[in-house]
Amino acid sequence: MGSRLEDRRASAAVRAWLERPVDPASLVVFRVLFGLAMLVAVARFFAHGWIHEYYLAPTHFFHYYGFAWVRPWPGSLMYVHYALMGAAALGITLGVFHRASAAIFFALFTYAHFIDKTNYLNHYYLVSCLALVMAFLPLDRAGSVRTWLRPSEAWDAVPAWMLYLVRFQVGVVYVFGGVAKLGSDWLVYAEPLSAWLAANADFPIVGSLFHSKVAATVVSWSGALFDLSVVPLLAMRRTRPFAYAALVFFHLVTARLFQLGMFPWIMMAAATIFFDASWPRRLVRGWRATAPSPARVPTRLSAWTAALLCGWVAWHVLVPLRHRLYPGNVLWTEEGFRFAWKVMLVEKNGVVEVTAVDPVTGELWVVEPRDYLTPYQIKMMSTQPDMILEFSHVVAEDFARRGRPGVRVHVDARVSLNGRPQAPLIDESFDLAREVDGFAAKRWILPLPEGSQPETGSWIAGATPSRAVVENRR
């Protein structure tokens, strides 16, 4: 009885914590920065010719399981699709029909990036999640065209859960990004950072350190600690300025070193959500919170909303960990790799030889992937088992169309992961034309060879490439 009473008290305390009104200012700034970043992202697709490259040039698209129906629109309609996406991003920025704009942006953006998993990026997933969250939040109730035109509709506060939800969404990127780094490749062998840093040794000032395995190890550990700690450090008022400065430094350096597109800029903007909820008011003199009008700020958390929030949070906590359900190293098998914030964890290169065999005549064809795919699709397919499977089906269907139904498709994929010697990724004895995609563990993926470790040395483990064989003049 007593415990039930305590439960009820705790529940009431949590509810009060979630429902308490908070200043919407930081959410407004978040909305504006997110909208602007998305405008830039859309503009980049036009400017770089990516709409043609990603949706018009390929003749085949790699589908997400269950989403084969998501295909590019015919003709030039993908340009219209992106133009509408830009308009929706502008709507978010300005706070015009905000929730509709966010919902439309979410639908258009997610559709575009579900067309071909070749182009999967963690930050695209983040953008989709944030857009969906924003579609449910009334972020145009302050600092928007809506409240400028109709001041009576302005809110001076929002329930705290809205702020926490956005913080959670941004926070999971860092937390799970850090959790994903807690493996021997990252911590013991400093891979793949070690290879990437050494390749960028002409980086200004500190570049000469990039050859060093010790430096790579320190940077790897720092990166993992940064990801794991930046959210609480941003949360603490005392450490916040240092944490944000570190965050900006980290993202600027990675933006300069690696091809990360909009990701560093989105994260630098998004991390402002961890600031004090009223922080923008200190920057903009005269933008002070006004007393909320009675009966105008709904803060009560309905049971439905609470259930949805719990489901959303559970999804984001469990999905990044789903790789635990599959055997083997997730970096190798990639079962449970996507949508899990496994950022910057793999230097993985491979070559596939796909062979089609006519079971009746025994005739044999080594298929040229470039006859079917773009160079970028080949690159991505070569190391990702589910894409190899789909490509095998494409080959079988093509042979059937050309009058050779029922060919068997076998794949010899040689892949190197994070400085390991290449190893076969696919069991060549399987006829992949007859294997089906799905969420079950793929029996035709070969495990990493027993005891396989990066060959590039480890400062921590004391394994170092020989010094004697290397001379470098001048």
Of residues 316-355, which lie at the interface with other proteins (CB under 8 A)?
Answer: 347-351, 353
> Which is closer to other proteins, CB of 111 or CB of 203?
203
**Looking at beta carbons only, is 238 or 324 nearer to other proteins?**
238
Tokens of 59: 């003749």
Enumerate residues 6+ apart whose C-beta is below 8 A from 242.
233
- Residue 195 CB, shortest distance to other proteins, in Å, is 4
Which of residues 84 and 357 has its CB atom nearest to other proteins in the complex? Answer: 357
Q: Which two tokens stand for residue 15?
A: 């509810």
Contact 317, 173 (CB under 8 A): no
Our CB check for other proteins shows the closer of 83 and 209 to be 209
Q: What is the C-alpha to C-alpha distance for residues 205 and 212, in angstroms, rounded to an integer?
A: 14
Site track for other proteins across 368-407, x = CB under 8 A? x-x---xxx-xx----------------------------
Residue 79: phi and psi, rounded to 5, are -65, -40
How many residues make contact with other proteins (CB under 8 A)? 107
429 binds other proteins (CB under 8 A): no
Which residues have CB under 8 Å from 5's CB, separation 6+?
none
- What SS3 state is found at 98? helix
How many Cα atoms within 13 Å fall on the side-chain side of residue 420?
A: 24
Identify which range of 201-209, 307-315, 337-345, 443-451 contacts other proteins by CB under 8 A.
Answer: 201-209
Q: Does 421 help bind other proteins (rule: CB under 8 A)?
A: yes
Site for other proteins in 207-246 (CB under 8 A): 208-209, 211-215, 217-218, 221-222, 225, 229, 232-233, 235-239, 242
SS3 at position 282: helix
* Coil, strand or helix at 3: helix
Report the alpha-carbon distance of residue 237 to residue 246 in Å, rounded.
15
The single residue among 122, 169, 418, 453 that binds other proteins, judged by CB under 8 A, is: 418
What distance in Å separates the CA atoms of residue 224 and residue 39, rounded to the nearest whole number? Answer: 31
Q: Which stretch binds other proteins (CB under 8 A): 15-23, 38-46, 97-105, 114-122?
A: 15-23
Candidate residues 1, 149, 205, 469; the one interacting with other proteins per rule CB under 8 A: 469
By beta-carbon proximity to other proteins, the closer residue of 150 and 296 is 296
Radius of gyration of the chain (CA): 25
Q: For the packed helices 240-257 and 213-235, what is the interaxial angle rounded to 10 degrees?
A: 140
For other proteins, the binding residues in 291-310 under the rule CB under 8 A are: 291-300, 302
| Footprint on residues 26-85 left by other proteins (CB under 8 A) | none
| Contacts (CB under 8 A) with other proteins, residues 264-283 | 274, 276-279, 281
Minimum CB separation of residue 104 from other proteins in Å reads 27
Return the residues of window 154-193 that contact other proteins according to CB under 8 A. 156-157, 160, 163-164, 167, 192
Contacts of 350 (CB under 8 A, 6+ apart): 382, 383, 413, 414, 415, 416, 422, 425
